[in-house]
Structure 1
Amino acid sequence: MSAKIKSASDFRQLSIGETFKILEASILGLTESEAKNRIERFGYNEIAEEKKNPFVEFFSRYWGPMPWLLELAVALSCMLGHYVEALIIFVLLTINVSIGFTHSRHTRKVLEFLKKRLAIKAKVFREGKWVVKDAEEIVPGDIILVGLGDLVPADAKIVSGELSVDQSALTGESLPVNLHPSDIVYSSSIVMQGEARCVVVNTGANTYFGRTAELVKVAKPKSHQEKMMMTITKYMMYFGLAALMLTSAYALLLNMGILSILTFAVIFLMGAIPVALPAVLTIVQAVGAMELAKKGVLVTRLDSIEDAASIDIVCLDKTGTITQNKLSVVEVIPFSEYKKEDVALIAALASEEESKDMIDLTVINYAKSLGVNLDSYRRISFTPFNPSIKRSEAIVESDGVRFKVVKGAPQMIISLCKKAGAVCQEGKVILDELSQKGYRTLAVAKSGNNDFENIQLVGFLALADPIRPDSKTMIEEIKRLGIKPIMLTGDNISIAKEIARQASIGDRIVPIAELKALNETDKAKVVEAYDGFAEVYPEDKYEIVNLLQSNGHMVGMTGDGVNDAPALKQAEMGIAVSNSTDVAKASASMVLTEKGMNVIVNAIKISRQIYQRMLTWVINKVTKVIQFVALLTIGLFWLRDIILSFLGMTLLIFANDFATMSLATDNVKHTNNPNKWNLKNVTLASLLVGALMAIGGILALAIGKTHFHLKWEKLQTFTMLTLVFYSQFRVYIVRERGHFWSSKPGKELTISIIATLIVFTLLGIYGIIIPPISPYQVLFALGFSAVFTIGIVDPFKYLVFKKFQL
C-alpha cells in the first residue's frame, strides 16, 4: 500500500479501479493474514482513549473537598502538637483514598465492558466468504456490506449498489444523501435505504469525521437524578453552613481560640456536607449495570437504570417481543393461472439471503423446500425492504426477458396493481380470512415481460408467528408492576386483535388511522385509553411516545429497526431488542442480548431494586447529617466545647463508608409501582427521622456526661462510639421501607455492620488509638443505640415512610 495515507476526499476523486490499486485490494476482499498485517500497520478502527496513569489517578484523590478537610485536620493536629493523631488521620485518609480508587477502577471496568458488548458489528468479505466482525477489526482494503439500519463502520468507497444515508450526526444536515457507485460513504452515517458493497479506505483516527467506531457515549447532559443529587448536596451544604455560622459566632462569644474555632469548623464540615453523594450513587449504578448484564440487559448509560425504574407505560412492538419471530409459511394462495410454486418463486426472487432478514430467509427456505430452481434467474437490481413503503422489489432476467418482482404488505402491493379487477377484490376477502386466523400475510406480484409498470397480483403467502409461551404471563406481570402495556404492530386490525387476545393485552385495539384522524388535543386525551394500535408505521411510534409523555407518563418503548430510532431515543426507557440494527442500539438506553419479554420484566424489576438502594443511601446520608449537626451544635451550646476530636470524626467517616458502600449489593425488594424521585418527600421524611435520631444522640451524650460523669476526652470517645453504633443500626433500619424485619440484609452489608460493631467495641474497651472507657460504658453505648434505633426510630420511620409514600 502507499506509504502515505490518503484522505477520504482524495479517494473521492479516484475511480474504483484506482482505489483498489492504491489499497492493494480487490473485490475479493482480504485474507485474515493480510487483515492482521494491516491492523499492525494502521491500528484498530478506533480512536484510542488516553489512559489515565494509575499512580497519577491515585494521588489525584488527595485533591478534593473531603481530602482537603482531612488534610487540614492533619495540619491542625500537628499545630496543636497531636502528632500521633495526625499520623492516624493521614493513614485513614490514605485507606479512604484507596477504597475510592478501587471503586473508581471498578466503575471504569464496567463501562469498558458495556462498550465492548455494545460495539457495532460489520459484515466483511474475508477468505472468500461473508463474516461478521467487530467494527474495530475493519482495515483499509476490506470489502464490507452495509444495508438498512447499519451504522457505517469506516470511510468507504461504494463498489456496487446504491444508498440513501443520514449524515445529520456528522454534518447537521437533516436531509438524506443519495450515494452511488464510486461515491464515498463516511463512517457513522446511518443507512436509511438501499444496500451496497464498499471498499474501506480509512479507519480510526484517519476517517474524515474522526472518532466514529464507538457506540456508547459516556458524556451527556445531567440526568434528573444527577440534578436531584446536586440539589440535595447543595441544600445540605446550606444547612451545614448556616449551623456552622451560628455555632462559630457563639464560639467567638465564648472567647474560644482561633485554632479551636477552626478545628470545630473542619470537624463540622467533615460531617455536614455529603460531598461523596454523586460518586457513591455512580458506584451503585455501576454494580447494578453488571447485575443487569448478567440478565441479558446492557445499559448504554448508567442513569438509564433510574429511567427504567420510573416507567408507567411500555409500548411493545409485537414482532419478536410478544411473538417468537420464528416465521413459517403455513398457507399459499395463488391467483389466476399461477401455481403455489410460482408464488414461492416470485417471493424468493424479491428476497435476499445475504440480508439475514427473517422474512426473506423464511421465504427463500420455503421456495427451496418446494424444489424451486432460483439459479436460472439473474438479478439485475434489488431494492431491500423499506419500512416506509412496506415492500421490497427486484428486476430479474431469465432467457433474455426482464421483469419486476415485488413482495410486501398486501395493502401496498394491491395498490400497485393498476388492473385490480376481480383478482384484487378476491384477494382482499382472503386477506381478511387469513387475518382472522392471526396469520401475517405477504403479497407477491410481478410485471409483464420487459414491462415494469403493469404489475399483476400473483398470490399470498400466509406466515405464522406464534406468541411466545411466556407472553401472557409476562403481560400480566407487567400489569402487576403498575405498568400499562400498549401493543404496536404494522399488521392489520384483525391480526392485532387476535394477538392481543392471546397475550391478554386488552381488547381496545384500533387502527392507527383512528388516532391520526383526531386533532392534537383529542389525541393526547385518548391515546392512553387504548391497549394497542394496528397498521402502525415506524414513524407513528415516535408520535405515540410523545403523546403519552405529554400526559405526564414515563414511557418505555421496544424497537429494532432504523425507523424505530426516534421513538427509542425519545422514550425514557428505549429498549433495543435482541438482533436490533446498529442505529436502534445507538438510540436506545438499554440493549437486550436475549429474546422475550421476561428480559424486559427483569430489567424493570432490577432497575427498581437499584433505585431502592440509591434511595436508601440518600435517606441514610441526610438523616446522618441532621443527627450530626444537631448533636455537635447542641454539644457546643451546652458543654461549650467540641464533643468530637479530629481523630474521632475521621473514624466516624471511616466506619460509615464500610456500611454504606455495601448498600450497592444489598438485598432489596422491588416495588410494585413505578419509582420516581420526589425531592420534597425524601427530604421531609429524612429530616423527621434524622431529628428523632438526633434526640437519641443527645440523650446518649447526656447520659455520658451526667450519669457516667466521664472526663472530657473519655466523653469524646463515648460520643464517637455512640454515633458509630447509631450509624450501623440506622443503615439497618432505613434500608427497609417497612419494619426492619421485613427483609434480610445482603451478605456484604451484614458482615460490614457486624465487623464495624466488633472493631469499635474493641477500640473503645482497649483504648486502641483513642482514650478508653469501661466495657460497661461501651456496651451501654452499643445497647442504647440498638434499642433506641430499632425500638423507637424504626416504628416511627415506618409511619413516616408510609405517610410520604417512600
Structure 2
Amino acid sequence: MLALLDPPRPDAKETIAQARALGLSVKMVTGDDVAIGSEISRQLGLGTHLLVADQVFPKDTDNNHIPIDAARAVEAADGFGRVFPENKYQIVKALQERNHIVAMTGDGVNDAPALKQAECGIAVSGATDAARSAAALILTAPGLSTIVNAIEEARAIFERITSYVYYRIAMTICIMFVVVLSYLVFGVRPLTAIMIVVLALLDDIPIMTIAYDNVKIAKKPVRWDMHRIIIFSSLMGLMALAQSFGLVLISMYWMNNAELMHVFALDLSHLQTMLFLQLAAGGHLLLFVVRNRNSVFKPPFPSLPLLLAVIGTQIVAVFICAFGIFVPAISWELIGVVWVYVLVWMVIIDIVKLIYFSVVDKREKQSENLTKAIA
C-alpha cells in the first residue's frame, strides 16, 4: 500500500474563517472523491455536506437553464466532489440564478469557463495562461489571504463612494431649492454666480480626500440599494435645505423688523455672504454626518487628510467672508453666529440620521424574521 498526503496550505483554514466572518459562504469544489473532499473540508472548517457533482447535474443539464432543484441543492451544499470541468461552470451558474454574487478561484485550463462566468474570477499563483485570461484578479503570491484583503478594501471603497453619493445628492438638493425658494418667496437672489463657483471649488478638496477616509468595514456583503440611497439622500437634502432656508427666513424677518434692525443692521448683501458661509460650513459638516451610520461623535472618526482638508477650506471660507474676497464682507460676530447655527443643525441632522437608520434596521430585521418563518 502506498500512502499519499496532499494537505491544504497552512493559512487556508484561517483565510476561510476570515472570509466567513465577512459574510461569505465558502464552498469546496474538487475533482477528488467525496470522501477525500469531506475530510479536507472538515479540516478547513467548511462542513462535510458534499455532493457528487454528476448527481446534481445530469448529463442532459442545460448550462444556461439550471433546474431550480439543482440550484437549491448547490446553495445548501458545503461543497462538491467528483467534479468535471463543465460542473464548475454549472455550479457558478446555479448560484447566480439563486441571486448570489459569485467569486471563484482556479488555476487550470478547465477552470477558465467558470472563472469567466463568475462575477469575480480569481486565478491563483501559478495558474495557466487560460485561467489568467479568464480571471478578473490574478494572485502573484501563493496563498489566498490576499482575497480577504481585497474584500475588505473593496467594502471600504464602497462605503466611501456611498458617503460621497449621499453628500453630493443632498447638497445638490439643498443649493438648488434654496435658490428657487428664496426667489419665489421673497424675490431675492440668495447667492451670486461667483459664490456658487467658489463653493464648488471649496468642495473639491474635501471630496478628493474622501478616498482616504476611515470607514467601518461591513460584516456582510454589500450591494447597491438605489431605493435607500435616494430616500436617505433626499432626507439629508431636505434637512440641509431646512437649515439653509431657515437662515434665509431668519434674515428676512430680521430685515423687516425695525426693532431688530436697530440692534444690528442687516441687508441683502449680508444675507448672501452668510448663506455662502452656511453652505460652505454646513455642507462639510453634513459630510461628517453622512459618512457613516454611527453618530458623528462616535468612531470611525474622519481620517487626518479629510479633517485637514475640511479645516483648511473652512479657514479659507471664513477669511473670504471676513475680508470680502469675491463676496460682500461681514463682521466676525456674524461669522460666529453662522458657525453656531450650523453646529446646532449638525446635531439635529445627526439625530434624524440615527432615527432613520434605527427604523430601517428594525424593518429589515422584521423582514428577515418573516422570511425565516416562511422558509
Query: Which TM class, normalised by the smaller chain length?
Result: 0.7 to 0.9
Q: Distance in 1 between matches of 2:116 and 2:181?
A: 52
Question: 1:621 maps to which residue?
Answer: 168
Secondary structure in structure 2 of the residue aligned to 1:742 = coil
Question: 2:15 maps to which residue?
Answer: 474
Question: 2:51 maps to which residue?
Answer: 510
What TM-score comes out, normalization by structure 2 length?
0.88
How much does 1:762 deviate? 1.3
**Is residue 2:108 matched to residue 1:524?**
no
The counterpart of 1:738, out of the listed 280, 287, 294, is: 294
The counterpart of 1:776, out of the listed 330, 333, 336, is: 333
Preserved CA contact (<8 Å) 2:195 2:326: no
* Deviation sequence 1:741-776 (CA, Å, 0-9, x none): 221211211110110111111111122232110101
Q: Distance in 2 between matches of 1:628 and 1:617?
A: 16
Preserved CA contact (<8 Å) 1:613 1:735: yes
Question: 2:192 maps to which residue?
Answer: 645
**Is residue 2:327 matched to residue 1:763?**
no
Q: Distance in 2 between matches of 1:609 and 1:689?
A: 22
Name segments (4+ residues, structure 1) moved above 4 Å.
none
How much does 1:542 deviate? 0.6
Q: Distance in 2 between matches of 1:694 and 1:482?
A: 38
What TM-score comes out, normalization by structure 1 length?
0.42
Letter in 1 for 2:40: I
* Deviation sequence 1:68-107 (CA, Å, 0-9, x none): xxxxxxxxxxxxxxxxxxxxxxxxxxxxxxxxxxxxxxxx
How much does 1:597 deviate? 2.5
Question: 1:663 maps to which residue?
Answer: 210
How much does 1:487 deviate? 0.6
Question: 1:590 maps to which residue?
Answer: 137
Give matches, 1:478-627, under 5 Å. Answer: 478-517=19-58, 520-627=67-174
Preserved CA contact (<8 Å) 2:39 2:48: no
Q: Distance in 2 between matches of 1:476 and 1:633?
A: 54
Question: 2:373 maps to which residue?
Answer: none
Q: Distance in 1 between matches of 2:203 and 2:111?
A: 46
Question: 1:722 maps to which residue?
Answer: 278
Q: Distance in 2 between matches of 1:579 and 1:803?
A: 49
Number of residue pairs the alignment of both structures matches: 346
Q: Distance in 2 between matches of 1:681 and 1:592?
A: 35
Preserved CA contact (<8 Å) 1:578 1:594: yes
Letter in 2 for 1:722: Q
Q: Distance in 2 between matches of 1:609 and 1:802?
A: 22
Q: Distance in 2 between matches of 1:738 and 1:648?
A: 32
Preserved CA contact (<8 Å) 1:761 1:779: no
How much does 1:802 deviate? 4.3
Preserved CA contact (<8 Å) 2:160 2:213: yes
* Deviation sequence 1:388-441 (CA, Å, 0-9, x none): xxxxxxxxxxxxxxxxxxxxxxxxxxxxxxxxxxxxxxxxxxxxxx5xxxxxxx
**Is residue 2:229 matched to residue 1:682?**
yes
Letter in 1 for 2:183: L
Preserved CA contact (<8 Å) 1:608 1:675: yes
More helix by share: 2
How much does 1:695 deviate? 0.6
Question: Gapped runs of 5+ residues in structure 1?
Answer: 1-331, 334-433, 435-461
Question: 2:348 maps to which residue?
Answer: 792
Q: Distance in 2 between matches of 1:802 and 1:601?
A: 29
Give matches, 1:198-237, under 5 Å. Answer: none
How much does 1:499 deviate? 0.6
Percent of paired sites with the same residue = 34
Secondary structure in structure 2 of the residue aligned to 1:485 = coil
Preserved CA contact (<8 Å) 2:31 2:81: yes
Question: 1:750 maps to which residue?
Answer: 307
The verdict on how the C-alpha distance between 1:795 and 1:588 changes in structure 2, with shifts beyond 3 A counting, is: same
Q: Distance in 1 between matches of 2:287 and 2:195?
A: 20
How much does 1:595 deviate? 2.3
Letter in 2 for 1:794: D
The counterpart of 2:240, out of the listed 690, 693, 696, is: 693
Q: Distance in 2 between matches of 1:484 and 1:661?
A: 35
Q: Distance in 2 between matches of 1:710 and 1:661?
A: 36
Preserved CA contact (<8 Å) 2:30 2:83: yes
How much does 1:804 deviate? 4.3
Q: Distance in 2 between matches of 1:729 and 1:593?
A: 42
Give matches, 1:123-522, under 5 Å. Answer: 333=2, 462=4, 464-517=5-58, 520-522=67-69
Q: Distance in 2 between matches of 1:660 and 1:689?
A: 17
Secondary structure in structure 2 of the residue aligned to 1:574 = strand
Letter in 1 for 2:338: A
Preserved CA contact (<8 Å) 2:54 2:87: no
How much does 1:479 deviate? 1.7
How much does 1:539 deviate? 2.3
Letter in 2 for 1:668: V
How much does 1:709 deviate? 5.0
Preserved CA contact (<8 Å) 2:321 2:330: yes
Mean Cα displacement is larger for which, 702-711 or 601-610? Answer: 702-711
Q: Distance in 2 between matches of 1:602 and 1:539?
A: 30
Letter in 2 for 1:783: V
Question: 2:260 maps to which residue?
Answer: none
Q: Distance in 2 between matches of 1:629 and 1:803?
A: 28
How much does 1:631 deviate? 0.9
How much does 1:704 deviate? 3.1
Preserved CA contact (<8 Å) 2:156 2:215: yes
Preserved CA contact (<8 Å) 1:704 1:718: no
How much does 1:483 deviate? 1.2
Preserved CA contact (<8 Å) 2:124 2:140: yes
More strand by share: 1
Preserved CA contact (<8 Å) 1:660 1:731: no
Give matches, 1:86-125, under 5 Å. Answer: none
Secondary structure in structure 2 of the residue aligned to 1:579 = coil
